Amino acid sequence: MTEQPHDWDAREDDASAPVRRELDALRARHRQDPPIDLLRAADADALPDDLQQAIASRLERDRWQRTLVDNLNDTTPDLDHAAEDRLLARIHQEAARDSSARVVRFPVVWRPILALAAAAVLVTAVVLRMHPPTTTPEPATTTTGTPAASPATPSFVLTLDKPDVRLTANALVRRGAGQQPKFVDDVAPALNAYRAGDYQTAEREFERVARLYPDAIEIAFYHGVTQLWLNDPTGAMSSLEAARRLNDETFAPDIAWYLAVANERAGNVAAARSELTTLCAGSSDYRARACDAVARLK
């Protein structure tokens, strides 16, 4: 809501001149009104509880806002036929993807062969455990490659890249429960494994240190990114939401971006778009990428 529109044309300027002072006063009177999108959402009872109550009550008492919302509801456009068909095709496509993602059922004749193959894998694993390789294990991926655990996944609009590790100033003084401030030492194994692309180890280490430092945003955030690299978008969403609840502004855009990535991979396109829309309206480094992606996300 801008205080003084700057895009009036000459005709509007002329026509409004006699009532300019009254319009200015009206604008000032409604400057503090809740945003129109929130008013409409409250009218649809679609806001989180506390906010719903506050805005719905306002909507009930203010005839200006009530009229505006009613009129907008009356002019809400329909889906055109093309969009209606496109959405139906998308639903069928998603539903087909669901069924192809279900467990593959092998014919009975294959089962002995598969059992033998499984046994061979087991023996190999036991031998390797008894005689571990002396060299450092190959990382699961490189920083620019695709995740090692990645199956033949559909292509996504949002590419997964790997954010560099950075620590907040709090990291230097952070204490675990009843411990001396040695956060950096404790978290080092997880972060080193993450940097090396050894995401399985990183995942285990992040799980461990998350219990020691439940308020450390670095752990929650990089844990979430690690889970993304392990093709676990649901786990990633949970870790990234936990990171968001810690309310650290410096990580907020990163969290939003990776939540968008996780949501797209989990099939929650609306949630991904919602994150991207916020980023696109902001001023972080993710802005351009988010604006581009939100336009391409189907």
Which residue, 39 or 202, is less far from other proteins as judged by CB? Answer: 39
Task: In angstroms, give the least distance from the CB of 229 to other proteins.
Answer: 23
Q: Shortest approach of other proteins to residue 59 CB, angstroms?
A: 12
- Residue 13 CB, shortest distance to other proteins, in Å, is 10
Contacts of 73 (CB under 8 A, 6+ apart): 40, 43
Distances from the Cα of 122 to the Cαs of 85, 114, 249, in angstroms? 50, 12, 47
Specify the 3-state DSSP secondary structure of 263.
helix
By the 8 A CB rule, do 104 and 152 touch? no
Q: List, as own/partner pairs, every contact residues 168-177 make where C-beta atoms lie below 8 angstroms and the sequence separation is at least 24, other chains included.
A: 168/217, 168/218, 168/248, 168/250, 168/251, 170/216, 171/216, 171/218, 174/213, 174/215, 174/216, 176/212, 176/213, 177/212
Closest CA to 174 of 213, 206, 221, 208: 213
**CB 239 to other proteins: min, Å:** 16
Q: Please, what is the minimum distance in Å from the beta carbon of residue 82 to other proteins?
A: 12
Q: Cβ 1 to other proteins, closest distance in Å?
A: 5
C-beta closer to other proteins: residue 46 or 113: 46
Q: With respect to other proteins, which residue has the nearer C-beta, 158 or 193?
A: 158
Question: CB-wise, 140 or 259, nearer to other proteins?
Answer: 259
Q: Spell out the alpha helix ranges (H) of 131-281.
A: 183-196, 199-212, 217-229, 233-245, 252-265, 269-281
Whose Cβ is closer to other proteins: residue 87's or residue 113's? 87
What tokens appear for 82 in the block? Answer: 């093309």
Nearest CB to other proteins, comparing residues 196 and 246: 246
Instruction: Give whichever of 52 and 168 is closer to other proteins, judged by the CB atom.
Output: 52
- The token duo for 266 is 């989990």
Shortest separation between residue 241's beta carbon and other proteins, angstroms: 9
